[in-house]
Structure formats: structure tokens, C-alpha cells
Amino acid sequence: MTEIVDGPPIDDLSLDLMLGGILDGLDRNLYLSLLVVNADGTANRVPPLRKNLSGGETALRAAPAAVPLVAMNNRLTSLPFAMTASHIAQPSAAALISGGATSQGIALNAHAHTFIGNDMYVLPLHLDDTQSPTQNYPVVSDVAAHWWPDALDPKAGWYASTFTLVKPAASDNAANAAFSFVLAKTGSVLGSDGTARTGLTATVRLTVKAAMTPETAAAAAANPDRKLQAVPLQNLSCALQIPYRRAGTSEIQSQRFPGTVSQTGDQITITVALLDDWVRLTYASLAFPGTGEPPRVVVSYAFTSYQYIFDSPQSSHVIGGGLVHQIAKVATVNDLPAQVRGPTLVRQDLKIVSASGSVQFDRESPSIVGRAPATPAVSHLAVTPIPPADIQPHLIPATITPHRTLVTRSMVREETTDASLPCGSYGNFYLQRNDAGVATAIGCQDSLKLGETALKAFDEVTTLRDPAFRVFRSLQQPGRFMVAPTAYRIGRFGDGSGGKAFRPMIMLYGLLDVDPANNRYALTTTLIPDVSPGALLQLGAKLVALTPSGSTPTIVYPTDPFVAATVGYSWALPAELGTPQAVTVLDAITITLSLPLANAALLTAVLDRSGIQGGVTFTLPDGSSVNAALIVDSNVVGPPESGPVTGALQGDTATLTNRTQQAMNVTDLVTSTASGTSQVVAVNTTLAPGTTVTAKVDPATTRAFANATAVAATSIEELDVFVEDVTSTVTFINQLNFSNHQLTALAVQARLEGNSHIETISLAEASTADASFTLPINDYLAHQTLQFALVETRASGTLTTAWRNWDLNKGSVIGITADLL
């Protein structure tokens, strides 16, 4: 018999209370292993909840809100970084700043900002429950500090450089001086005022020098035993920022122009190419400094640091660390903790205890021949029973991150320095090159003064329009082109992503809340431009004719930081699915959609039938805009750098390999040589997963990309996506008296409805036993019914009962009574 009586509500269950004190005084590492299930199916130990930690560090100022962590390559990393398509090509620091790869900037002073990277890696945990740094990185507890200690060497330290403009001496040769401005006439163009004027190109060379700030220098002098060195300038990018006034307005705005960068020692040289009105604007800004906003050199770079992250287990979640649906258990009443906050099964007494009462599972009393069993002999142990709703286990993380965790994390820093170089003092370095290539100093030229522009940054090259994209030529910098995709689709991870390579960038997982009623089912996916590498290779060959001689065309997407577009989104999907959250991360768009657990099946159905349809609008500073469709369905594209079928070159042979889990139709192979000659080679074959085919190519071929698409549409479940696992544990309590039913043994068979896997467990008298099932969260949410049957053994033989259904939403504890035989 099972008796449940109403009682007051109880609090949520913490990890320590769930353990119930059974490991007090013992080394928990000998008994507990918190595991993360990786995307490839392997499991790894991750940092558990820890205590008795040394102090000293403080939480980061303006640190970003906690984001989910993903089990990845034996480490934990933050979700935005885990969903990046590839880590082979290192993005510029400017690109890291502009998208979701970093937090909101922290202003250090008028010329410096720091951005905290989302590439968080949790250091491994040792057997003695500690973490130890292994690299000579700075330990950053305050991003505004003038210097940071080294993680390993107590006599070393690090600082972030400041930058000053290097100005040339009057006797310097302009050809290799720290600064030069060289312009040339290039025919006639339509000016910003609508009239024809002389076309111009210009190349600006500027140099900055890295140094200590005065405060850092003072700190170094005060700590003579500690050797300070500048942090490395990783992902370095530089730009020239020019103030201007848009025609018809009085507001001063600014435009950044990326340049090529070279570094020699502590000096960095940036070279920027410009066109037409922007030549005049830059000349006026540099040569005739006024009282307003000055031109500036912008230096952006990243470096790796150690940080201590202070967080609570409830505010972070490990995706892939697994979820569990079970009740806490102890062996005896003596093993219960001093304060029981959540429902806990006491195995010996067959009862569930909470802070407010208990539920007693009474054993069947022995029967007298010819009579039914007597009333139970076991007392209720003087506790008040609790209501059914309070004995149901909640879905909780299997992995709980510690309160204080040592991680490595990128810091991205941006410094600006004023770059006024009056022509009255530096006129010898303002030059004009004639058709013969001879450069002559022009000094101060009033005719080049222009403080405003119509600000049209790009103009479409309509002859290059393609069903997959449109091409726009930059009116600011020569050889620069913006490709606006027609659509963004779910992409695949690139070849440098370890076990995730060539798998769809889709993650299905649970988002848990302190209040289980607010638990959510989430999908995060990264959309990339639906433009194949082969199409970009062909386009690059066509753009050579529109690029200055000796230069290579530069192709960017509307998400490029120097396009400076604002982004807007729109969606068309059922109201039950809510509104997706979107953020640009480098050249991609990461979409997160969370919804109540009850709607999980609806999300999968929508993805398989029509997909989620949306749109993105990129609005440029001149007010013009380009649009693209956002399509979230099972039609996956990429990886962006190679495509789904890779090509390996050897002599005159290209070997094509299908790296995905889907059969691919390969139509052709796009190749190019070092001279830029492009060729299309017909292939027209179907490749099964993992298979190869060869094609003959020009022996001079240096690059080759296969155009390939999936043979057939697939469902989300058929794609090899990253899905979080749920372990559901059901506990059976034997309330039977075997002699009453002539039983010599009893076992339970259990399975989830719709699943063929069966767990068989033995159930002795007055005992409990557990059956556990691990399955993807989408399957777990779709199958909330447990089916079980009893295997009854008597002297006369063995009998198996019919299958019975149990709703897991009612709980995970089942009492086995006589009426079930």
C-alpha cells in the first residue's frame, strides 16, 4: 500500500544535500565522477563543485552574463565560440569586436577599450580537486590594471601597450618614412555634388610605436624584481579613422578604413588605399587639423589570459554534460543529512523523506491460510506525509560547474591615437605621382580640401549578379568588394573543428531554471552565407579586371566590421515557438530559439516540414540596404572554406572526398592556378559518405573546390547533430511478501515507449532497484511513458506479466504491490 497525504511545499534540492552526507569524511574523488558526454560519444571528467579554495582574486568588472558551456575536445568552452564554423583562419581583432565573439566593451580611458572574449576554456581538474595553469599567461582579475602577474613565474608580469604616432623628421626620405600620403589622378568621376571631377587614388602610410603607459612605467620602477613585458599582439588589425560631414548635415561622423599591417619590433606600419572623395577627405583631415574630431589610427589586438570566473551553479549550464531525471537516495535514515531540503529515498525503510514529511511504501503483511494479508506492520515513523507534487524529481544538470573556476580567455583590446600631420610642417610627405611614376611633394593644396561627402560606400556591379549573391564595388577603397548573399543557411563545422568537423552546426539542449516550471528546450545553430567556395573562386577571377594592377581583390560580407552596417531581423514562424535570438559572429549569424519543454516536438516538426523562415537586413551608413533570407531547416551547407566534398591535389589529379554523413551529388570542380586562371571540370557523380572520386586537372592547379549538394532531403533527427543527453532513472520499490504469492524471485523489465531497448533488474523482498535510460533530449521529451512488466518466478515456473504504462511526469518511483501481479 502507498499512502500520500497533502503537506507544505519543499525547496529545491542542492548537490550536497542530494548526497545526504554519505561521503562525509571521505575523499569524494574516489566515489564521484562528474562526466561530460562529448559530441563524438566519448565521456570526460569535468570540474565538480569544489570547496576550501584559496582566495585573493576578484570578479571581473563589467563581466558578461553567464553563457552555456559546451563539452568540446575534453574541455568546456562557451557556446558562441563552440558554434564558430572554423578556427583555422584567425579572424582579425576588429572582427572579434564587432560580433558576438566578445562581450560589450569596457572603456578604460578616452583612447582604450577592452573586450572580453567568449572563448572560455575550463582548465582540467586534478585529483586533489585543484586547477593549475600551465602557460605563461597573465592572470587578469581587473582589466583596467596597469600590469598583471604571470601565472607561473612570480618574478614576471605583463602589460598592455599604448601606442603613439611616429612622425617623420624633415630630412627623412618620403619613400620609406614613417608617414607618407601619395595620390594619383585616375581620369574623371562623378563627385559627391553630382558634378564631374578628377578621379583620385591614394596610399597613406602611418606608423605607431608601442610603449608602456606612464602608470605602467611607474609600476615597473616600483617593482624592480619583477620583469614586465608587453602582451603579444595577436589577431592584429589596424585602421585609419577619418571624421567627415555628410552632405546636407552638420553632424560630424567617422569612417574606419582597414589597412595592411606590418610589424617591426615595437613599431607597426599601416598602409591604407583610398578612392576619390575619400582621398580628399583624408587629405583634408590629416593635412589641415582643426578644432574638431582629429583623424586617428586604430590598433586592435587580442591576447590570452587566465581568469577566475565567479559564478553559481544555477546560473551556468554545461551543454553535453547531460541532464538527469531521478530522485536522491540514501541507504538508511542515519545517512540523511541534518537538513533534508528535497525528496530523498531511504532504501532500507522504503520511504521518501523531505523537509516537511515523508511517503511510506508499506510492505505487505504475511497472510494466514485462507485469509487476505493483514494490515501493514511497519509504522510511519512519526512523520507527516507530503503531497504528490513535491516528490517528483526535476530535470537537473548532471554536471555542476564550480563557484570559482580557472579558465583561459581571450582579451581583445582597442587603442586609438591621434594622427594629425599638418601640411605646413610635413608638406614634403604629401606627394603626387604622375603617369611616369615620379612622385613630387605637393605640400598644402587648398583645392583638395573637402569636408563633406555624399557617403555612398558601395555600388553594385550588376553584370556579376548571381542567384546566390550580389556584388558591390567599394567607392572608398580600390580592390574591395562586398558580396551580399541571397540567403544564409545552417552551416557545417570546418575541418579544424576536431570531432565536430563536417557535422551540422546545430545543438539541441535543455536550459534549466531554478524554477523547473521555467525549464526550456533550446536549439542553437549557426547560419553561413549560402555561397559555395567554388563560386567565390570564380568570382575572384572576374574581379581581377576591376582591381588595380598588382593588387588582389578583397571580398567581404555585409557582416564585416568595416562595412559598418546595422543589422535587423524578421521572422515568420508559429507563435508557440517564440522569437529567435540572433547575433552576428564573424561572417556568420548564430540563432538561438528556446521554448517550453512541452513544445519541443512542435519545433522538430516545423524544422522537418517547412523550416524556420526569416530575413536579415543590413543597413549601410549611407542609408542603403541589402537583404538576405534566413533559412533554418535540414538543408545544410558548407563548411565555408572547403564545402562538403574536399579536394586534394597531386600532380594532374584531384581526389574528391565526401566528408559528410550524407550522400552528395558532385556536379563539377572549380580550379585555379597561381596566375589566377580559373577552370571548371565536369564531374557529375554521386558520392556516398566517406567515399572518393578522382578528376583530371591542370598540373599547375593550386586550388580546387567541388560544387556538391545533398542527394536527398533529410530530417533533423537523421542529421549528425549535437544533441544533449538525458539520463532518466526509475526506482522500483518491492512492497510484496513473497510467501503470500509463492514467489521465489521477482524481476522487472522496463523500457521507454517507442524504444526497443529493455532493462531487466532483479527485485528482492523489501528492497529497491533502479533502471536507467540515456537518450537524446528530443527523444526524452517525445517519450514520457515508461513501460514495465514483472517477471515472476515460482517453483512451478516463470511468468511474465503484460506491459503496463507509467507516466514519468507523475514521478520516477514505482511501488510494486500485489495488484500488479
Does the residue 217 lie in any domain?
Answer: yes
Q: Are residues 274 and 316 in the same domain?
A: yes
52 CB-near residues (< 8 Å, 6+ apart) = none
Q: 679 with 816, same domain?
A: no
Q: How far is CA 5 from the centre of its chain?
A: 47
Distance CA 1, CA 818 (A): 9
Shared-domain flag, residues 262 and 408? yes
Give me the number of domains the chain comprises.
3
> Alpha-carbon distance 484 to 559, whole Å?
9
**Claim to verify: residue 102 and residue 172 sit in the same structural domain:** yes
Range of the structural domain that residue 435 is part of: 60-74+88-321+403-455
Q: Which residues of 56-86 are buried (b: 16+ CB within 10 A; e: fewer)?
A: ebeebeeeeebbbbbbbbebbbbbbbbbbbb
> Beta-strand (E) ranges in 265-313?
267-275, 296-310
Run of H or E including 16: helix 15-19
Q: Are residues 790 and 700 in the same domain?
A: no
Q: What is the pLDDT of residue 248?
A: 61
Q: What is the CA radius of gyration of the chain?
A: 33
Cis peptide before 533 (omega within 30 of 0): no
pLDDT of amino acid 413 = 94
CB-based contacts of 745: which residues, under 8 Å, 6+ apart? 762, 793
Contact 260, 239 (CB under 8 A): no
Continuous H helices in 253-308: 277-287
Q: Say what the pLDDT of residue 75 is.
A: 63
Q: Where among 674, 692, 712 does a domain terminate?
A: 712
| Together in a domain, 162 and 255 | yes
The Cα-based distances of 681 to 651, 669, 699 in angstroms read 15, 5, 13
Strand intervals (E) in 467-605: 469-474, 480-485, 487-490, 506-511, 520-529, 554-556, 566-572, 581-585, 588-596
Contact 392, 385 (CB under 8 A): no
Which pTM value belongs to this model?
Answer: 0.76
pLDDT at 128: 64
The secondary structure element, H or E, covering residue 97 is helix 93-98
Instruction: Clarify whether residues 705 and 751 are in a common domain.
Output: no
- Is residue 800 packed enough to be buried (19+ CB in 10 Å), middle (13-18) or exposed (0-12)? exposed
In a domain, 535, yes or no: no
- The residue out of 455, 470, 488 marking a domain boundary is 455
Is residue 546 assigned to a domain?
A: no
Q: Which residue from 801, 766, 769, 810 is spatially nearest to 363, judged by alpha carbons?
A: 766
Q: Can you spell out the DSSP letters for 240-256?
A: EEEEEEETT---EEEEE
Cell 504528490 maps to which residue? 388
Q: Could you tell me if residue 600 is inside a domain?
A: no
* 167 domain residue, yes or no: yes
- Assigned C-alpha cell, 721: 547533430
679 inside domain: yes
Residues 451, 303 share a domain: yes
Examine the domain organization and report whether 675 and 733 are in the same domain: no
Is residue 738 included in any domain, yes or no? yes
Asked whether residue 765 falls in the same domain as residue 672, the answer is no
Residue 291's pLDDT is what? 65
Helix, strand, coil content of the chain in percent (nearest 5): 15, 45, 45
pLDDT at 292: 75
The C-alpha cell that represents 502 in the structure block: 563536417
Distances in Å between the Cα of 384 and the Cα atoms of 295, 357, 364, 680 are 76, 4, 21, 80
Q: DSSP 3-state assignment of 191?
A: coil
Query: What pLDDT is recorded for position 55?
Result: 31
Q: What are phi and psi of 436, to 5 degrees?
A: -85, -5
pLDDT of residue 273: 94
pLDDT of residue 595: 84
For cell 549601410, name the residue: 620
Strand 430-433 with 180-190, pairing: parallel
Which CATH number covers residue 760? Answer: 2.60.40
> Left, alpha or beta for 133 (phi > 0: left; psi -120 to 50: alpha)?
beta
Quick one: pLDDT at residue 399? 56
- Mean pLDDT per block of 10 residues along the chain (821 residues) reads 38 46 48 45 41 32 50 65 69 82 81 86 72 91 92 95 94 93 77 64 95 93 92 95 76 88 94 90 88 89 88 54 77 82 83 78 72 45 50 61 74 93 92 88 76 71 95 92 96 85 87 69 91 94 87 91 91 82 86 82 81 92 91 91 93 94 93 87 94 93 93 81 81 91 93 87 92 81 84 92 87 87 88
Residues 125 and 274 in one domain: yes
809 and 660 inside one domain:
no
CA distance 7 to 353: 12
Measured CA distances, 764 to 323, 601, 769 (Å)? 29, 39, 9
- Sort strands 156-159 and 112-116 into parallel, antiparallel or unpaired: unpaired
Helix or strand holding residue 565 (H, E): none
Cβ neighbour number for residue 9 with a 10 Å cutoff: 11
Handedness of CA 71, 73, 74, 78 (dihedral sign): negative
- Listed as own residue / partner, the contacts of 347-354 with beta carbons closer than 8 Å and 24 or more positions apart are 347/767, 347/768, 349/378, 349/381, 350/378, 350/733, 350/735, 350/766, 350/768, 351/381, 352/327, 352/386, 352/391, 352/813, 353/383, 354/10, 354/386, 354/390, 354/391
**Helical spans, DSSP H, in 593-687:** 600-609
Does some domain include residue 99? yes
- Give the residue from 689, 712, 735 where a domain finishes: 712
Residue 345 CB neighbour total at 10 angstroms: 25
Residues 643, 492: Cα–Cα separation, whole Å: 9
